[in-house]
A and B are shown apart, each in its own frame.
Chain A
């Protein structure tokens, strides 16, 4: 059974194996298919139209399944690897071990945002940015520049306390847990972390930065925490909602999985701690 651990608790060997598996997916071309899929949904999901991956109730189950696909791909390279999560409410500094050269590498240089150290630096020559909207082929970051602070634990708690999963109009204007966690409304959790990292993470092609997976693994963990806090609250809407994935509707691009199939993460993985 896969156990997803806090990135801060990984051993040197676990970090090495995770990085090696990610780099191998990149080398084989498989990694970039994840970037392409994510961007296709980012530009396709709209508040007034069909919306599946973002700005909609299925933001959470869609990313849960997307991460499962990626984790399974990693495990085909190295069966010992699981996705770590980044608790950005605790590891809030650019001096976190997350950004050390033996793991993800640090922020970009000021001139052009280019990441200069770690296994995903352009100089390491195994991390070319291929799915992109401009000519720059090197990974970019600007940690803590566009927004100064990552969300605090108190802000996370305030969102976890919301008892309703989601509300009409089921988009970026909604009240409820999902949209506050996604960040289009309120204290802003998930969106703000993308902006804080900057560079590719601020774009529709955000999976170009491997921290994408650690960020979303923590967003996914917060969904699990919310479920434990509100056992009487379920995924909504449940039926008949135009352009929105109801509880028992199948989700694109898989077309064979429903939010109802993804509510219980323990069928696929557990976490190292509650």
Chain B
């Protein structure tokens, strides 16, 4: 059981490090198909009183699981992910795909109901 817990902790730590923008020891690889896909444009708007921003990111310290796109709410990163069909989800709306990263950011603002997003890992 201690060994199991340790593995779990390491797995979680790697995921959290990625979310925080800290590169884990082994970078996730990006497939050729991912490179070839259309990347959504940047956005920056105030939605329901919150500033939401999105931008493509590439390589280095900012290579995301989501395939090279970063979203933030009031400057705090929101973990987003792109599905194979081009739809998007975020960690606070994970089972409900929406068409664009901007829609995922707006869905997150709706879900948060004014609460501040915590920088991961903050809890």
Chain A residues in contact with chain B, CB under 8 A?
33, 36-37, 39-44, 46-50, 55, 112-113, 130-136, 146-147, 169, 171-173, 183-184, 190-192, 194-195, 202-206, 252-255
Q: Report the interface size for chain B: residues with CB under 8 A from the other chain.
A: 42
Binding site secondary structure of chain A? loop
Q: Report the Cα distance A70→B88, complex, angstroms.
A: 30
10 tightest Cβ-Cβ pairs between the two chains A and B: A173-B84, A194-B95, A40-B12, A191-B95, A47-B84, A134-B115, A40-B15, A204-B91, A48-B31, A204-B94
Contact across chains for B84 and A202 when beta carbons are under 8 A apart: no
CB contacts (< 8 Å) of B66 on chain A: these are: 46
Contact across chains for A48 and B30 when beta carbons are under 8 A apart: yes
CB contacts (< 8 Å) of A55 on chain B: these are: 83
B65 at the interface (CB under 8 A from A): yes
Segment touching A, from B3-11, B41-49, B54-62: B3-11
CB contacts (< 8 Å) of B112 on chain A: these are: 134
Please give me the residue from chain B that is nearest to A188 by CB atom: B95
B99 at the interface (CB under 8 A from A): no
Starting from the known contacts A194-B94, A202-B111, A206-B95, 14 additional A-B residue pairs (CB-CB under 8 Å) come to A39-B15, A40-B11, A40-B15, A41-B11, A42-B91, A43-B15, A44-B18, A47-B84, A131-B123, A133-B91, A134-B112, A135-B116, A173-B84, A205-B91
- Contact pick for A191, options B15, B96, B120, CB 8 Å: B96
Q: Report the Cα distance A33→B5, complex, angstroms.
A: 9
- Contact pick for A48, options B4, B5, B18, B34, CB 8 Å: B34
Contact across chains for B65 and A112 when beta carbons are under 8 A apart: no
- Contact pick for A44, options B15, B95, B96, B115, CB 8 Å: B15
Can you list 25 A-B contacts (CB < 8 A)?
A37-B12, A40-B8, A43-B18, A43-B81, A44-B18, A46-B28, A46-B65, A47-B84, A48-B67, A49-B65, A112-B113, A130-B123, A132-B123, A133-B117, A134-B115, A147-B96, A172-B83, A173-B85, A183-B95, A184-B83, A191-B95, A191-B96, A203-B91, A203-B93, A253-B7
Q: Report the Cα distance A50→B18, complex, angstroms.
A: 14
Please give me the residue from chain A that is nearest to B78 by CB atom: A133
B103 at the interface (CB under 8 A from A): no
Q: Which of B21-72 contact A (CB under 8 A)?
A: 28-31, 33-34, 65-67
